[in-house]
Amino acid sequence: MTLTGKTALVTGGSRGIGRAIVHRLSRLGARVVYTYRRTAVDHDLPRVTAVRADQADPASLEAMFAPVRESGLDILVNNAAIAPAARIADLTGEDFDRVMAINARFPLLAMRAAAALMPDGGRIVNLSTLNTVVAGPGLALYCASKAALEQFTAVAARELGPRGITVNTVSPGQTDTDMLRATGPWPLIEEQARRFGALGRVGTPDDVAAVVAWLAGPDAGWITGQNIRATGGLVV
């Protein structure tokens, strides 16, 4: 598979799964623009550009799309998100507004902007989470915002389908990122993966990036409106 000649925009591409996606798409030949909020990362890759964007602020959309407005856009990957942990009893209205703005509103607006720039046959991939089907304490806003994103994906697939633009969700399970490592002792996380995952291990960012890259490529043109749970069989 090759993405030579394609332009991709990846949100949250400085670390974790987003970083792996940037690397995968670039190695396949795509020009990649990625966003970061705090610190840009030197990916040491050709055709990679970093843009600062704060998804809490819709005005960041202009800066995010500026590098691709003239060249056009073939692939959008909505990866950036936050997952603050708080039980429902402790949540505030401000918490709700912030998480929904970053995890749901901004990706929706990004899809709208991307579709206007894409030629027929473009690709949109949204990153969700296994937690929309395996909920946990303290994850109410994270689960709700990602569930909203999954529904945006389904509707967008219908609306953009006549143009051959595919829109899909990838929902990772336990993946070795800073976010996962912050949730508890790593040996316990690894033990849970061995016990409950069909493949018996914690996933890597590259595992997820491979799925995203496939959906972004030419061989996935008949797949749209789907939620691919890239979990190593954590849920089967």
* CATH of residue 168: 3.40.50.720
Domain that holds residue 30: 7-172+205-228
For residue 209, is it within any domain? yes
Q: How far apart are CA 188 and CA 17, in angstroms?
A: 21
For residue 52, is it within any domain? yes
* Residues carrying an active site annotation: 142
Q: Is 42 a residue whose pLDDT tops 80?
A: no
For residue 179, is it within any domain? no
Beta bridge partners of 227: 169
pTM: 0.96
* pLDDT digits 0-9 by tens, 92-146: 999 999 999 999 999 999 999 999 999 999 999 999 999 999 999 999 999 999 9
Q: Is 41 a residue whose pLDDT tops 80?
A: no
For residue 166, is it within any domain? yes
Q: From the centroid of its chain, how far is CA 14?
A: 12
For residue 183, is it within any domain? no
User: What's the number of domains the chain is made of?
Assistant: 1
Q: How high is the mean pLDDT of the chain?
A: 95
For residue 1, is it within any domain? no
Confidence at 46, pLDDT banded by 50, 70, 90: confident
For residue 19, is it within any domain? yes
* 43 or 236: which leads in pLDDT: 236
For residue 196, is it within any domain? no
Q: Are the C-beta atoms of residues 126 and 154 closer than 8 Å to each other?
A: no
